[in-house]
Amino acid sequence: MIYYDVNCFGCRKIGRDVEGSIEYKQVKNNRNRRHLCPNCKMRVQLESEKISGVNTKIIKALDIASQINSNL
């Protein structure tokens, strides 16, 4: 199993991104990228939804779509 151990930017806990996940690809492409664990990601999402009123599920879908496009 191939993986990266990454430090969460939010809570500083060490998480693991396993090969095949979107997070793994993101770390592989940019090792300096700020990583957030699922708990912190959820917290940030809820916070930004509260502040902006924008549903982040739509943003996430667009984000995934743009990643797929950039991999073509």
Residues at the contact surface with Zn ion, assessed by CB under 5 A = 8, 10-11, 37, 40
Q: Which residues of 11-36 are buried (b: 16+ CB within 10 A; e: fewer)?
A: eeeebebeeeeebbebbeeeeeeebb
Are 19 and 2 in contact by the 8 Å Cβ rule? The answer is yes
> To the nearest whole angstrom, how small is the minimum distance from the Cβ of residue 69 to Zn ion?
29
Nearer to Zn ion, 44 or 59 (CB): 44
Nearer to Zn ion, 40 or 59 (CB): 40
Nearer to Zn ion, 10 or 56 (CB): 10
